[in-house]
Structure 1
């Protein structure tokens, strides 16, 4: 059996703001909570993906403090350029937009970037050969 990526575990400075961010901007849901790491550990997943891939969020981390030109990020696909723009607008209002909506050559597509409360960058993209509906798209 080959290994399968199932989760990413994040230590964050403050737990609840990160849970709220991933719920509000990414549509993730809390699927499990338990005591640990000084307060609690939270598992979050996209609806319907609870057995495929989750974020494990734990308190006790430090702010990532990424530079504006650091493109380390978590990537989420959305279904249109308008959805990217809507997220960017909400993020600008919330003060967490780091990359305004922009168009890059294939396979990057149209995207924006947000900063979560722990300092991680989160990309929302349309037109990449990844995510729902992309199976018919070639990967160069």
Structure 2
């Protein structure tokens, strides 16, 4: 099987271990591949939540510029509102919650923004209708 379609996003990070921990905590992602890039000599990790063939590729760099920040962000759907609220509470306590949860109704749903260790933005959401919208849309 070969990969087709959108497969990954690559993010520069200053501390790969800290970033792995953040995405494991807030996006339920785990490392599926690790290496030291032979050409550049930098640490690389691929993370996946194993729900679909898509990965975040973390690449350790000396400096992170530019960053993925609001409104540019990664979006993660949560199982329910309660689990999202628990993650937001933890994010608030850790000082990484940058926009409190709000309910914007369909199709946007209930959402909040978090800041990863390098300033990239992660959106947590519940009730967004992206999957439903894709299913309802005809191939053009």
Shift of 1:65: 6.1
TM-score calculated relative to the size of structure 1: 0.81
C-alpha distance in 1, partners of 2:5/2:80?
Answer: 29
Shift of 1:137: 7.9
C-alpha distance in 2, partners of 1:111/1:25?
Answer: 13
Do 1:112 and 1:124's aligned partners in 2 also have CA atoms closer than 8 Å?
Answer: yes
C-alpha distance in 2, partners of 1:34/1:117?
Answer: 21
Structure 1 residues 66, 136: CA separation in 2 closer, same or farther (over 3 Å shift)? closer
Do 1:31 and 1:44's aligned partners in 2 also have CA atoms closer than 8 Å?
Answer: yes
Equivalent pairs counted in the alignment come to 131
C-alpha distance in 1, partners of 2:68/2:24?
Answer: 22
Equivalence map 1:22-101=2 (5 Å): 22-36=23-37, 37-49=40-52, 52-60=53-61, 61-62=63-64, 64=66, 70-101=70-101
RMSD of aligned alpha carbons: 2.4
Do 1:64 and 1:119's aligned partners in 2 also have CA atoms closer than 8 Å?
Answer: no
| Structure 1 gap segments, 5+ residues each | none
- The 3-state SS of whatever aligns with 1:23 is helix
- The 3-state SS of whatever aligns with 2:112 is strand
C-alpha distance in 2, partners of 1:53/1:94?
Answer: 27
| Structure 2 gap segments, 5+ residues each | none
C-alpha distance in 1, partners of 2:76/2:123?
Answer: 6
Spell out, residue by residue over 1:77-115, the C-alpha distance to the aligned partner (whole angstroms, 9 max, x if none).
112221221111010111100111111132111111110
C-alpha distance in 2, partners of 1:38/1:16?
Answer: 16
TM-score calculated relative to the size of structure 2: 0.81
C-alpha distance in 2, partners of 1:12/1:40?
Answer: 10
C-alpha distance in 2, partners of 1:108/1:64?
Answer: 27
